[in-house]
Copies of this chain bind each other. A is one copy, B any other.
Amino acid sequence: MHLAVIGGSDAGISAALRARELDPSVDVTVVVADAYPNFSICGIPYYFSRDVHPWQSLAHRTHADLEATGMRLRLDTLATGIDVAGRKLTVVDERGTESTIAYDELMVGTGASPSTAGIAGLDALGAADGVHLLHSMGDTFALEEYLDARQPDTAVIVGAGYVGLEMAEALTTRGIRVTQVQRGPEVLSTLDPELGSLVHDELTRHGVDVVTGTRVERVSKTGGTLTVLGLRDGATFERTADLVLVVVGVRPNTSLLTDAGARTGAGGAAVVDEQMRTGLPHIWAAGDGIVTHHRLLGVTYLPLGTTSHKQGRVAGENAIGGDARFTGSLGTQVVKVFDLVAARTGLRDSEARAAGYAPRSNTAVADDHKAYYPGATPISIRITGNTDNGVLLGAQLVGSRGAEVAKRVDTYATALHHGMTVDAMSDLDLSYTPPLGSPWDAVQVAAQSWVRSTA
């Protein structure tokens, strides 16, 4: 049995590891487009903040670790075509030499590429000009080289999602004056604005110039100066900088699958079922290139590293004859922005309404631990529940680093997984000691506040 895997990031490596774990007799080849298999893309901002060094430590596992599991890696090798009927893969190595790889089962984890959101001028400007995208280790090296060589004083970051916020922190830490430009009304548009504004305040407190409600239309370069042009409240927005970083999301890489006959669905991603079957014989797929089964939304597109790990594991198990199932995402996410942590799971009010639920949302503020013990800090918790049946639909949390926000969202995620009512969360036997919690934990205080708000 030969399992070929395309892609050396979360989904591909997870599939390869799972197959080898379950059946060490399975031959596994992983085709990796670059020389950096199993690198933690989520860690890249911390390389720029200099929390992580050298860059090699961003690898979840080293090349040697991976080979020790018995998988074979073909680095700097691009998969260019799939012969579905012949069960063969065409690949091109770094010298341009084409070859074929025969497989019994194929797992495709080609991931996603950075979006440029239709901003004009990006085609003509590249890393050497000071205009950067950030998704791969190649992008990482290009940006680091630019930072070292040019020592920019100012940067415009287009986008205020997870990577944008983390990079605003990283570049600020390096002494660069950052302007963060966001299309929507508030940063971190995955949270409701009332919670996003807490993140906005944290950015401002650390010197980031946050410009919301601004659509960037063009980036241009005149002489040595980059100019970001856009529209804000109907007026022209213009900002010059030494560096422009565009981090406005991703689009799925699907051409390899669609050329082979696969269908695309939500978000333009390749369609798979919950067992990661593409519908093409012997071809499985996982990760940022495919649609996401969501426990509350059905099929959507919501690329996340955690999801890629789970999908990859399912694909790896099933490709060698297993019967695993991806039980679905809840879109659980967390980000640290300077000294603040923002997290969410499930749906916000607007998302729930759009999906046909009858939501109601309520924000409560509860201390992370007993106020009498030093260092207690408030956590803002916004709960969305279904008014039809009281079922929890989602939670958003913003609090200080150290307030255990990242793991408190996990309690909501676990409750959501089981379809709990908001009210029943008061039944959960959660831990308590005065330095770390309260007899009713903050997650329960917020749940009780939601219940009262619907009375």
Chain B residues, CB < 8 A from A332: 429-431
A428 near B432: Cβ-Cβ < 8 Å: no
Chain B residues, CB < 8 A from A377: none
Beyond A46-B435, A306-B430, A334-B437, 19 additional pairs, beta carbon < 8 A: A10-B439, A42-B432, A43-B372, A46-B372, A305-B432, A306-B439, A307-B429, A327-B424, A327-B427, A332-B429, A332-B430, A333-B432, A336-B433, A341-B436, A402-B402, A409-B431, A410-B430, A410-B431, A414-B418
1/0 contact trace for A153-183 toward B, CB 8 Å? Answer: 0000000001000000000000000000000
Chain B residues, CB < 8 A from A331: 429
A429 near B330: Cβ-Cβ < 8 Å: yes
**A335 in the interface (beta carbon within 8 A):** yes
1/0 contact trace for A408-432 toward B, CB 8 Å? Answer: 1111011101100000101111111
Chain B residues, CB < 8 A from A443: 410
**Would you list the 9 A-B pairs with minimal beta carbon distance, nearest first?**
A407-B407, A334-B431, A406-B436, A414-B414, A330-B429, A327-B427, A404-B407, A57-B372, A418-B418
**A77 in the interface (beta carbon within 8 A):** no
B46 near A334: Cβ-Cβ < 8 Å: no
Q: List 13 A-B contacts (CB under 8 A).
A: A46-B372, A46-B373, A51-B373, A52-B373, A309-B440, A332-B430, A333-B431, A407-B407, A407-B408, A411-B414, A414-B414, A414-B428, A414-B430
> Which of B424, B427, B433 interacts with A42 by CB under 8 Å?
B433
> Which of B334, B402, B428 interacts with A433 by CB under 8 Å?
B334
**A441 in the interface (beta carbon within 8 A):** yes
Alpha-carbon distance A373/B44, docked complex (angstroms): 11
Chain B residues, CB < 8 A from A185: none
Chain B residues, CB < 8 A from A424: 327
Closest to A10 in B: B439
- 304-338 of chain A: CB within 8 A of chain B: 304-307, 309-310, 313, 327-336
Closest to A331 in B: B429
